[in-house]
Structure 1
Amino acid sequence: MKKTLLYFGVLLSNLWGTAQENYQFTDLINIDSTPVISQGNTGTCWSFSTSSFIESEIIRLTGEYVNISEMYNVRNTYPVKASNYVYRQGKAQFSEGGLAHDVLNSIRDYGLVPAEVYSGLLGGKTKHNHSEMASILSSMLDTYIKNPGKTLDPKWKEAFNSILDVYLGENITEFYYHNKKYTPQQFAEAYSIQPEDYINITSFSHEPFYGEFILNIPDNFSNGSYFNLPIEELVHTIDHALKEGFTIGIDCDVSEKTFSSKNGIAVVPEKESNNLEALHSIYPEKEITQEYRQQEFENYNTTDDHLMHITGKVEDQKGNNYYKVKNSWGSDEKTTKYGGYVYFSDAYIRLKTISITLHKDGVPRNILKKLNQHKTVEN
């Protein structure tokens, strides 16, 4: 009996000694941002995340808090997608998805509007749901491409836009905000948003580093161009920007079991057997090299899933740093943690980042020089 008790005592002691502490985080950098909201049942994370990024830019540049209309960007991007899809005879991407530069392109061509004047919610609705609209739009375009009438009606774009009007609302050309009249272009200018001031950066070894290339992922329907940095310099760019008060838009893979909005954590455990436990406690993580990152991209383990918004950094109780990433899945405590933010480990950022978008002034000067941005540096 004494031996049995001794055995269990040793066992319990060993279990206690190997027990892992739950995460405890302390803020290191926390840059101003607007509240977390939900994209609802839509595939428009690209607009929600980049609009959030633009909102933080407006705070940084003007000190004002503005709730930007995500759906205005969506409304003006859909016709561009549609034309690309039809002209390429259906051999292109047409979906709800997009990328950060699609919002910047929309701002360049159509300006910005506040959410209070264009919500994209009609008929008393309070939550976004685009499933029906997206299905109708896809079916309409596929019918045009099959061309049963043997001639594409010149009013096809007008018909397409009428669907957007029904589901999102007619486009807006002028409005009042704080008792002042604006066009969307005037509003963007008034709040200091110049799309040409922003830069897209990625990190893949199938293209030359420090050059620029069209990132070959499905949602890049608009053929956006990205500067290519080694992953060490991409991470350095993120760290530098945050230190200098710039937030960053991020396109990343969130399909991993070790990404959890509910637990507010995204990590890359060294041992897969620790995947579940690592959502709650600190475990050693994999060392992420450029080669491993490229391998995971080429075998489709790293894919373009979701766009989010990096607004700061936190530290766990052992001194490990994480990136504070704002999501667009709401802030319900039943489905999210940390108010709707997810804390990305350094390893997760290195492995699962597809690209980042930020103001060119947030990029280290020596890296801008490598990217042949000499005029930017001189300014």
Structure 2
Amino acid sequence: MCRKFFLTALLFVTVAGSGWLHAQDDLIKKISGNSSDSTGFRFTNIINLEVTPIENQGSSGTCWSYSTNSFLESEMIKAGRKPVPLAKIYTARRSYEDKAENYVKMNGAVSWGDGGEAHDVINMYAKYGAVPEEVYTGLLNGATTNNFSEMQAILKAMLDAVIKNPAGVLSPRWKKAFAATLDAYLGPVPPMFTYQNKSYTPQSFAKEVVGLDAGNYIEFISQNNTPYWQKAMMMVPDNWAFQWDYNIPPAAVTDIIDNALKNGYTVAWGTDVSEPYFSWPNGVAFVPQNPFSYVKNITAAQKKELFTSPKPEPEITPELRQTGIENGQTSDDHGMHIVGLSKDQDGKEYYIVKNSWGTGNEYKGYLHVTKAYVQFKTTSILVNKKAVPKSVASKITL
């Protein structure tokens, strides 16, 4: 997830705002009421859950960490706690360390890079705890945004050299060399730190301040080539942890999201953002009729026409969705955070989605995404188990 599109997104981003309430006010001002904009869409909010500020992942494929940590921050709000901006790069760094072990054990027969999945954030939280963002930013030498390109090239070259194993027997020293490289680019992780005049370890901070139980979360996928309502492998390259998730029909994906939002829970969302009918600048995504007739490299004029006003959408059947998966048009591109529900001037409902590309689009870092798009292009969703409707929970083992 987040392997292709974060670089082009930088063309549109600006510096993120600050302050949790300020971010919430911005969302309300931009989406509430009848707001008209340059695209011809007018949105009214229906559900608008509390969130932490928009952030900018910079030139790094860490959307999965930004989006799912944002989700955990909203989980803190839902639990009645004061939200703490969590260190997204701490989560990513711990994930890279675990991923490196898998990469070496598999002799490089797994993907390497910045990418990950929503479940990686939960797994790292359970295993390594959490750190406040003010303690570990991963930014050195005056940098203000992430840039992982050089670091990842060096890390992969190092791992590939380890796999070749010129000594004949692997020594444990490669892990220290790997960690030292991460230290050089991201800074060392403090084993102890002070937050609001109290000392913590990452584990004690997760327990005492964040206060969330990693066992409370569940992830879902949707594919029709394995049985529904049973667990199946998430077949995407960035699933380096080889996670198995519950497989559900496309309609159940939006059933879960609707139930979550209505009960005050947000959703971590993995999706494809490569299609011309996903527009970050316009802040809108939908599914046109005959979606497979749209090539990715349409002209600017053709793309502009897509977003002049709301358009009719096809019914998203399991077969239509699976065609996109099988022909490669639906890919595991990006992770975002579903935080609310809106409707357009025709009454069609959209999900309000928080992104991590800064605030430089039509809706100051947010998007409106139709339910059809979510059914068609979702790669995974992760939610609190309490957010799962009874109609779904009765068919799986929670």
* TM-score normalised by L of structure 2: 0.85
Q: Quick check: 2:220–2:382 contact (8 Å CA) kept in 1?
A: yes
CA–CA distance in structure 2, aligned partners of residues 311 and 181 of structure 1: 32
Tell me the residue number matched to 1:337.
Answer: 362
From 180, 195, 203, give the equivalent of 2:222.
Answer: 203
Instruction: Report the Cα offset of residue 148 of structure 1.
Output: 2.9
1:175 aligns with 2:208: no
Tell me the residue number matched to 1:257.
Answer: 276
SS at match of 1:56: helix
Tell me the residue number matched to 1:226.
Answer: 245
Matches within 5 A, 1:123-134: 123-134=141-152
Tell me the residue number matched to 1:370.
Answer: 395
CA–CA distance in structure 1, aligned partners of residues 391 and 42 of structure 2: 36
From 252, 255, 264, give the equivalent of 1:236.
Answer: 255
CA–CA distance in structure 2, aligned partners of residues 157 and 309 of structure 1: 33
CA–CA distance in structure 2, aligned partners of residues 171 and 48 of structure 1: 18
From 53, 66, 69, give the equivalent of 1:48.
Answer: 66
CA–CA distance in structure 2, aligned partners of residues 35 and 50 of structure 1: 14
Instruction: Report the Cα offset of residue 172 of structure 1.
Output: 2.3
1:354 aligns with 2:379: yes
CA–CA distance in structure 2, aligned partners of residues 137 and 195 of structure 1: 29
Instruction: Report the Cα offset of residue 322 of structure 1.
Output: 0.5
Moved more, 30-39 or 170-179: 170-179
* 1:99-147 Cα deviation digits (max 9, x unpaired): 0111111101110110001111112211111111011001111111122
Counterpart of 1:124, as a letter, is G
Q: Percent of counterpart pairs with the same letter? A: 44
SS at match of 2:82: coil
The structure number with the bigger radius of gyration is: 1
Matches within 5 A, 1:287-298: 287-298=315-326
Q: Quick check: 1:198–1:358 contact (8 Å CA) kept in 2?
A: yes
Matches within 5 A, 1:87-166: 87-166=105-184
Counterpart of 1:367, as a letter, is V
Instruction: Report the Cα offset of residue 236 of structure 1.
Output: 0.6
CA–CA distance in structure 1, aligned partners of residues 97 and 135 of structure 2: 21
Q: Quick check: 1:263–1:280 contact (8 Å CA) kept in 2?
A: no
* 1:163-222 Cα deviation digits (max 9, x unpaired): 001111112222111112222112112222111100001111111111112211110000
Tell me the residue number matched to 1:8.
Answer: none
Moved more, 186-195 or 253-262: 186-195
Tell me the residue number matched to 1:307.
Answer: 335
Instruction: Report the Cα offset of residue 40 of structure 1.
Output: 0.2
Moved more, 364-373 or 159-168: 364-373
> Which protein, 1 or 2, shows the higher relative CO under an 8 Å CA cutoff with sep ≥ 6?
2
Q: Quick check: 1:201–1:355 contact (8 Å CA) kept in 2?
A: yes
Counterpart of 2:363, as a letter, is Y
CA–CA distance in structure 2, aligned partners of residues 196 and 116 of structure 1: 26
Instruction: Report the Cα offset of residue 232 of structure 1.
Output: 1.3
Tell me the residue number matched to 1:17.
Answer: none
Counterpart of 2:216, as a letter, is D
CA–CA distance in structure 2, aligned partners of residues 242 and 297 of structure 1: 27
Q: Quick check: 2:40–2:307 contact (8 Å CA) kept in 1?
A: no
* TM-score normalised by L of structure 1: 0.90
Q: Quick check: 1:39–1:48 contact (8 Å CA) kept in 2?
A: yes
How many matched pairs? 351
Q: Quick check: 1:253–1:302 contact (8 Å CA) kept in 2?
A: yes
CA–CA distance in structure 1, aligned partners of residues 63 and 207 of structure 2: 24
Tell me the residue number matched to 1:377.
Answer: none
Q: Quick check: 1:267–1:278 contact (8 Å CA) kept in 2?
A: no
CA–CA distance in structure 1, aligned partners of residues 172 and 132 of structure 2: 33
Q: Quick check: 1:32–1:59 contact (8 Å CA) kept in 2?
A: yes
Tell me the residue number matched to 2:354.
Answer: 326
SS at match of 1:277: helix
From 210, 213, 232, give the equivalent of 1:213.
Answer: 232
SS at match of 1:59: helix
RMSD: 1.5
Instruction: Report the Cα offset of residue 153 of structure 1.
Output: 3.1
From 309, 334, 341, give the equivalent of 1:281.
Answer: 309
Counterpart of 2:358, as a letter, is G
SS at match of 2:42: coil
SS at match of 1:62: coil
Instruction: Report the Cα offset of residue 21 of structure 1.
Output: 8.1
CA–CA distance in structure 2, aligned partners of residues 174 and 209 of structure 1: 45
Q: Quick check: 2:51–2:74 contact (8 Å CA) kept in 1?
A: yes
